[in-house]
Amino acid sequence: MHLVCVDCAARHPAEMRYSCERCGGILEVAEPARLPRPLPGAGMWSADAALCVSDPAAVATLGEGGTPLHRAPRLAEAVGATGQVWIKDETVNPSGSFKDRAVAAAVARARELGMAGIVCASSGNAGASAAAYAARAGLPAIIVVPTHTPDEKLTQIAAYGARLVRVDGHYSNAYRVGLELAERHALANVTTTYLNPYGVDALKTAGHEIFDQLGGRLPDWVLVPTGAGPLVKGVVQGLRERSGGRSARLVAVQAEGCAPIVRAFESGRREVEAWGTPTTFASGISDPLVGYERDGTHTLDLVIATEGLAVAVADAAIRAAMALLARREGLLAEPTGASAVAALEMLLADGRIGRDATIVCMVTGHGFKDFKVWRAMPPASGADLPVGDRAAEDRPG
Ligand SMILES: [Zn+2]
């Protein structure tokens, strides 16, 4: 196992490294180590994937990964799809989001390397995940979040006993403070941008599972809620590994209020530039990429390589998609988690995705993560009515 720079191909040893010494580029894992045998009943660790760890004693698992792929016929009907629409339900991961795959692997690798604790900069979900796995592993954790992080996510992080550091402004400020703290205290940085190569590598398991759950075939499209974009990489890599190098077409879904990758895609530029101030309620993809614009460029390269798309959806469309998922398929998602469904509706309507296509939407985070959005949701019987006394009466005390 070693690390390779995605930009200049320089080779580095498999230490806890976060960028290429030669050019500052993103590092990825090559020839990943694997456990001597799979761990039965332990989610992604039970599937015989090479997850960069060879010592079973380093793995602190909560059963992450191995999530269901649900056929969604009632959702398909509502959005006008005539082909198969599938939901990859990442909300059932142990801490409620897909981040558990990356964090569990990054924490295991940190333990294997004998590191004394972890740091994670997060908009909430990765921080909650890091706090949970640190608790499970018996490691101290420092979680750095923007001050506007949803209350439920802050409560979840604190519940696991992690030390919480709040930073003014948007996510990229927290990212910078996370780098400083990890360096100063010699802790493993498990931040879930492209920073930690071992964490990113584990996201390939989502692609493996999709391929296997579809009976060994590729879907036509996979729609992925996208901040920096490591889940885009994970899905593409996993599908390629399973299918002899081919991939579905990927759609990177961002919010209109924070869409640096979409802006580059639409203008035909191949270099992503940082976004100004994010203005979306979808906290999980509210990442302006300030200081790590290369992450966005790497994701854009992957999307283009699959002949995919990058699209932005309005908060109102996300809210409508949350209601559709809950009321038509029984799946409670946070705003980021429903953004892929919002994008699907738009792309079917404008013809960029054919109605008869086989489509997978990644639903990345649970609705409990940001419950104030649900508290403000109009009741189903009058979805076009403003929230008023009626909604208040419907709520339990
Ligand atoms: Zn390099």
User: Mean pLDDT lowest for which of 88-97, 150-159, 382-391?
Assistant: 382-391
Q: pLDDT-based confidence at 387, cuts 50/70/90?
A: low
Task: Kindly state the average pLDDT of the residues 98-127.
Answer: 97
Q: Are strands 2-5 and 27-30 parallel, antiparallel or unpaired?
A: antiparallel
Q: What pLDDT sits at residue 295?
A: 97
On the question of pLDDT at 255 being above 70, the answer is yes
Distance 298 CA to ligand 1 centre (A): 13
Distance 17 CA to ligand 1 centre (A): 12
Q: What pLDDT sits at residue 395?
A: 52
Q: What is the pLDDT of residues 192-212, one digit of tens each?
A: 999 999 999 999 999 999 999
Distance 30 CA to ligand 1 centre (A): 14
> CATH fold of 69-96+203-375, please?
Rossmann fold (3.40.50)
Distance 19 CA to ligand 1 centre (A): 8
Q: What is the pLDDT of residues 176-197, one digit of tens each?
A: 999 999 999 999 999 999 999 9
Distance 171 CA to ligand 1 centre (A): 25
Helices (H) and strands (E) in the chain, counts: 14, 13
Distance 2 CA to ligand 1 centre (A): 14
Tell me the two tokens of residue 252: 């990177």
What does pTM read for this prediction? 0.94
Distance 14 CA to ligand 1 centre (A): 15
Distance 196 CA to ligand 1 centre (A): 15
Distance 90 CA to ligand 1 centre (A): 32
Distance 13 CA to ligand 1 centre (A): 13
Distance 24 CA to ligand 1 centre (A): 6
Distance 271 CA to ligand 1 centre (A): 16
Mean pLDDT value across the chain: 95
Q: pLDDT-based confidence at 380, cuts 50/70/90?
A: confident
Q: pLDDT-based confidence at 48, cuts 50/70/90?
A: confident
Distance 295 CA to ligand 1 centre (A): 13
CA dist., res. 198 & res. 14, Å (int) = 9
Distance 304 CA to ligand 1 centre (A): 21
Is the CATH code 3.40.50.1100 the one for domain 2-61+99-198?
yes
Q: Which of 288, 292, 293, 291 is nearest to 275 (CA)?
A: 288
What does the angle CA 188 – CA 134 – CA 147 come to, to the nearest 5 degrees?
80
% of the chain with per-residue pLDDT over 90 = 93
Contact 188, 182 (CB under 8 A): yes
Q: pLDDT-based confidence at 396, cuts 50/70/90?
A: low
CA dist., res. 39 & res. 24, Å (int) = 36
**H or E stretch at 144:** strand 141-146
Residue 228 is given by DSSP the state S
Task: Kindly state the average pLDDT of the residues 77-87.
Answer: 98
Distance 10 CA to ligand 1 centre (A): 5
Q: What pLDDT sits at residue 259?
A: 98
Q: What pLDDT sits at residue 346?
A: 98
Distance 28 CA to ligand 1 centre (A): 11
Distance 214 CA to ligand 1 centre (A): 36
Task: Kindly state the average pLDDT of the residues 273-298.
Answer: 95
On the question of pLDDT at 221 being above 50, the answer is yes
Distance 4 CA to ligand 1 centre (A): 8
Which residues of the chain form CATH 3.40.50.1100? Answer: 2-61+99-198, 69-96+203-375
Distance 230 CA to ligand 1 centre (A): 18
Give the ranges where the chain is alpha helix by DSSP (H). Answer: 73-79, 99-112, 125-137, 151-159, 171-185, 197-202, 204-213, 230-243, 260-267, 293-305, 315-329, 335-349, 371-375, 389-394
On the question of pLDDT at 390 being above 80, the answer is no
Distance 231 CA to ligand 1 centre (A): 21
Distance 8 CA to ligand 1 centre (A): 4
Distance 103 CA to ligand 1 centre (A): 24
CA dist., res. 396 & res. 4, Å (int) = 54
Q: What pLDDT sits at residue 397?
A: 44
Q: pLDDT-based confidence at 379, cuts 50/70/90?
A: confident
Q: pLDDT-based confidence at 330, cuts 50/70/90?
A: very high
Contact 81, 355 (CB under 8 A): yes
CA dist., res. 204 & res. 217, Å (int) = 16
Q: What is the pLDDT of residues 331-378, one digit of tens each?
A: 999 999 999 999 999 999 999 999 999 999 999 999 999 999 999 998
Distance 129 CA to ligand 1 centre (A): 29
Listing DSSP states for 147-216 in one string gives: TTS-HHHHHHHHHTTPEEEEESSSHHHHHHHHHHHHHHHT-EE--TTTT-HHHHHHTHHHHHHHHHHTTS
Distance 131 CA to ligand 1 centre (A): 31
On the question of pLDDT at 386 being above 80, the answer is no
Distance 163 CA to ligand 1 centre (A): 33
Q: What pLDDT sits at residue 174?
A: 95
Distance 150 CA to ligand 1 centre (A): 36
Residue 333 is given by DSSP the state B
Task: Kindly state the average pLDDT of the residues 296-305.
Answer: 98
Q: What is the pLDDT of residues 14-47, one digit of tens each?
A: 999 999 999 999 999 999 999 999 999 999 999 9
Distance 35 CA to ligand 1 centre (A): 29
Distance 26 CA to ligand 1 centre (A): 7
Task: Kindly state the average pLDDT of the residues 148-169.
Answer: 94
On the question of pLDDT at 57 being above 50, the answer is yes
On the question of pLDDT at 278 being above 80, the answer is yes
Distance 48 CA to ligand 1 centre (A): 30
